[in-house]
Amino acid sequence: MNCGKRFALLAIVLIPAFGAGCSGRNIHSDLGDDSAVLRRLWTRPAYEYFGDVPNASSHGAEYSNPVLVENTLIVGTRAGLISIYPSLNQQRWVLPIPNGVTGELVVDRGNVYFGGGDGFFYSASVETGRVNWRYELRNPVTSRPTVSGGRVFVTASDDTVYAFDAGTGKWLWHFRRRSSASATIRGASSPLVEGQEVLVGLSDGFLVALSVHDGQLSWERRLHQGTKFTDVDAHPVLESNVLYVPSYDGSLYSLKHPGGDILWRFDAGASKKVELEEQSIYLPSSDGNIYALQKSNAKVVWKFELDGGVPTQLILTEKYVIVGSSFQYLYVIDKTTGKGVYRFNGGHGSGFSGAPVYDRPSRKLYVLSTAGNLYAFSLAAPGRL
């Protein structure tokens, strides 16, 4: 059993698909942290930004992501929300949240939206860190919210999809059905809004299409045929009327939109969304591999095997695929050949779970480790290698 599935523990005990404790195999011992590829600028434990806030340095894993807003970096942590000036590594403001930030962040029109470990869903000002509104869900939000048309959509850990007025926090509708899954990993699908539909995956293995206006079910497609972890936690990706969405330990599906008719399937699952570029699909699979596939037929172009754990969301640059592992490492992979060119060691048991963020104009990369270390890197210009 590989490390990724071995640590995909039950959400009922609130433990994620996480590689801590897995020794890994050191497959890529030839790779190092070559500064000609990626140069580390600074590292800082996230709890230090909170000063004397109680429990800011308490033990636990980080699952959220940094987001960039102009010259400001906003980061969700197990103590709350941080805003910093990354070029100076200086704090702008902090917003303590009881039991921390449990899911990923999204920013829209000067506001940041996120789920708190206290069971509330929040909107806060990017400028000041003050809470605009909050709504009690009584369940953690482990997905990334989606803002569209003045509404914010989010999936809670109990498979309930909510729609709120993004400005006021007014409840608009919710869609709930009892999940048939007996075991589920930590995570939930980020809704995709397309026209009059909200497309979202559920832990019972279904992709559902809901009405934007009232949350009524329009159609559904089962994406998992097995009996283990049936979760569809990845954000659906749509291009040219084709949907690409995987189930966790099942397959990646290419579906017609609308309707969900299957075009093809590739037998490797994921909990993170695919990335599309020209004729290629890049899949961060829960089997511990990164795949580059042909978009038309899912033929494998190359495969890169992680040393252990499961991958984060991918970052695509001009030349590279950048990905973190829940086990221990951050990798840079040549996008054309699939050959690894860089590996950064975050320390034993200190892998990565939340999505990295890459600022193309400045070529800066920011990522928060599961151990709570916030890293800033600079990517070399394309012509340097």
On the question of pLDDT at 186 being above 60, the answer is no
In tens, the pLDDT along 271-284 reads 899 999 999 999 99
User: What's the pLDDT score for residue 203?
Assistant: 84
| SS3 letters across 67-130 | EEECCEEEEECCCEEEEEECCCCEEEEEEECCCCECCCCEEECCEEEEEECCCEEEEEECCCCC
- Per-residue tokens: 49: 């930004």
Looking at the domain 1-48+289-385, which fold is it? Lipocalin (2.40.128)
Handedness of CA 43, 48, 49, 55 (dihedral sign): positive
- pLDDT score at 56: 53
Instruction: Please state, in angstroms and rounded to a whole number, the distance separating the CA atoms of residues 156 and 174.
Output: 10
Over residues 2-18, mean pLDDT: 38
Q: How confident is the model at residue 20 (pLDDT cuts 50, 70, 90)?
A: very low
Does 373 score more than 50 pLDDT?
yes
Check residue 348 and give its pLDDT. Answer: 81
How much is the average pLDDT of 213-237?
83
For position 8, what pLDDT does the model report?
36
Which helix (H) or strand (E) segment holds residue 5: the answer is helix 3-6
**What is the per-residue pLDDT across 90-118, written as a single tens digit (0 to 9) for each?**
999 999 999 899 889 999 999 999 999 89
Higher per-residue confidence, 299 vs 158? 299
> Residue 81 pLDDT > 70, yes or no?
yes
**CB count in 10 Å sphere of residue 331:** 24
Rounded average pLDDT over 221-243: 82
Please report, for the chain, the start and end positions of each structural domain, with discontinuous segments joined by +.
Answer: 1-48+289-385
333 or 5, greater pLDDT: 333
How many Cβ atoms from other residues are within 10 Å of residue 199's Cβ?
Answer: 27
The pLDDT of residue 383: 64
Residue 14 confidence (pLDDT) above 60: no
Q: Do 210 and 218 meet the contact criterion of CB atoms below 8 Å apart?
A: yes
Average pLDDT over the chain reads 86
By the 10 Å C-beta count (0-12 exposed, 13-18 middle, 19+ buried), 67 is classed as buried
